[in-house]
Amino acid sequence: MGVSFSQAARRVATKYVDGSSLDAAVEVLGARAEKDIDALDSEGKASLISFLVRNLRELSVEEATELERKLLREMGAVPKPMKTIVVKDDISVITLRNYVRYLCVYLGMEWNRGMLLQSAVSDLARFALTRGAGTFEISAAREKVSFRVHIDGQVAIGGAWLSTSNEPLLAGVRNLARGLRSTSGAQGSQLEFDVEWAAAVA
């Protein structure tokens, strides 16, 4: 028989919280806590880990982030080299934000910067919704996340619209991104950008 999620989590989390707190957090997961860890894909593991850590309420934000990162790495919840998410409604905006958060934690982005990136990408997704829909291609490497975004509607005539737009929903991306590239035409609008940081120690 394989190792369950709760068993794998306890190996790491007991260094951060007392047994009663951990028991209570595991209990909230119900039957999901006893799933074989090898039967879960990376995002399935990440979802359970995030839910578990959110229920360990005595931890500071920094401690919770460190624990979540160690759980992700210990359980082999490695992000895909590339992930595509289609944004077509409010639920898919939340899905996108949660995936970006997972990347930020796993890769070691500092908590405050990670929150800024999550907000910026969420705003960009909402901007895409005002134009119909959007497709986000996200690739991750140590200390860098790269985005390629297609927005269904034409934002402006010509290129460089992202760097010149006064749209409030684009301000967060402009402040964080490096290597901004944007084009717009009858078939829709595109932008590409990178976000870099110094990774936290595992």
Predicted local distance difference test score (pLDDT) of residue 59: 92
Residues of the chain predicted below pLDDT 70? 1, 156-160, 199-202
pLDDT at 52: 95
Which domains, from first to last, does the chain contain?
Answer: 5-74 (no CATH), 82-196 (3.30.565.10)
The per-residue pLDDT for 119 is: 97
Chain segment 161-202, per-residue pLDDT in tens = 777 778 899 999 988 888 888 887 778 889 999 998 775 554
- Alpha carbons 116 and 118: distance in angstroms, whole number: 6
Residues 6+ apart with CB under 8 A from 109: 103, 117, 197, 199, 200
Q: What is the pLDDT of residue 133?
A: 94
Residue 157: per-residue pLDDT: 55
Q: Return the pLDDT at 117.
A: 95
pLDDT of residue 199: 59
